[in-house]
Amino acid sequence: MAEKPQQQAEDTIDNETITNNTDTVAEDKAEEQITAKTDTQAVDEVVTDTDVHADTVEELSHEQALLELQDAREKADQYWNKLLLSQADIENLKRRHQRDLENAHKYALENFLKELFPVKDSMELGINAAQQQTDVDKLREGIELTLKQLLAVFEKFGVEEINPLGEKFNPEQHQAMSMQVSDEYEPNTVITVYQKGFTLNKRLLRPAMVVVAKK
């Protein structure tokens, strides 16, 4: 009879131990669940942070691309405006050149004619003088001065006179009207000049009309 209380006491101790062990196991499982839950939350947070970072990078890349595109468009507009200005300048230059060319053709003789006006005035003075006097020498002197004045105008504008008397016949500048036998001149020599020729800056304007010697 004395063993029963002892047995009951031992059973009570064992039950308490089992209970304690059960509680410990429960606590350990709870801690493991908490730890697992914490780890899962940490992983979720890391994933979330990664996604946020990726979204931020993507947004920054998109903004950078927009800025670069805007900059490229601004540069393209600048180049286009420069091109339009260049084309306008070229068109203006063409019109100015065309206008200058037309004026050059229209008024090419302006300076030349201005130089001839004094010659005309001199000839008119000579005609008036011839009506008042009969001195042939003075009239001839006045005509020679007028002719000299005219030749000076020709020379100023590059006009040269061709007077090939006594020179070899040159078919590039002379036009033979006839050929005559001459003891005074060698064959193929100009012995008479019917009409003098002229060149403009070495370019033939009018050939000299001549008679050429022959055997």
Q: How far apart are CA 158 and CA 152, in angstroms?
A: 10
Q: Rounded to 5 degrees, what are φ and ψ at 156?
A: -60, -30
Token readout for 205 is: 């304007």
Q: 189 and 203 share a domain? A: yes
Token readout for 2 is: 């004395």
The CA-based angle 83-87-93, given to 5 degrees, is 145
Residues 6+ apart with CB under 8 A from 9: none
Q: 189 and 199 share a domain? A: yes
Q: 6 and 58 share a domain? A: yes
Whether the CB-CB separation of 212 and 188 falls below 8 Å is answered with yes
Token readout for 35 is: 């730890």
Whether the CB-CB separation of 174 and 207 falls below 8 Å is answered with yes
Q: 13 and 97 share a domain? A: yes
Q: How far apart are CA 17 and CA 97, in angstroms?
A: 117
Q: How far apart are CA 51 and CA 42, in angstroms?
A: 14
Q: 114 and 213 share a domain? A: no
Q: Which of 167, 151, 147 is nearest to 210 (CA)?
A: 167
Q: 148 and 93 share a domain? A: no
Q: 137 and 163 share a domain? A: no
What's the domain range around 204? 159-215
- Looking at the structure of the chain, the number of domains it has is 3
Q: Decide which of 86, 106, 126 is a domain's last residue.
A: 106
Q: Please spell the DSSP secondary structure of 127-171, one letter per residue.
A: HHHHHH---HHHHHHHHHHHHHHHHHHHHHTTEEEE--TTSBP-T
Q: What is the pLDDT along the chain (215 residues), one digit of tens a residue?
A: 444 555 554 455 455 555 555 555 455 555 555 555 555 555 455 445 555 555 665 666 777 878 888 888 888 888 899 888 998 999 999 999 998 888 887 877 888 889 999 999 988 888 888 777 677 888 888 889 999 999 999 999 999 999 999 999 999 999 999 999 988 899 999 999 999 999 999 999 999 999 999 98
Compute the residue count for the chain.
215
Q: In what order do the strands lie in the sheet with 174-181?
A: 174-181, 208-214, 190-195
User: Which residues sit opposite 178 in a β-bridge?
Assistant: 211
Q: What is the CATH number of the domain that holds 170?
A: 2.30.22.10
* pLDDT attached to residue 59: 67
Q: Which of 150, 156, 159, 166 is nearest to 197 (CA)?
A: 159
Please give the biggest Cα pair distance in the chain.
197
* pLDDT attached to residue 104: 81
* pLDDT attached to residue 118: 92
Q: Which amino acid, 26?
A: A
Q: Which of 109, 205, 90 is nearest to 159 (CA)?
A: 205
Q: 47 and 93 share a domain? A: yes
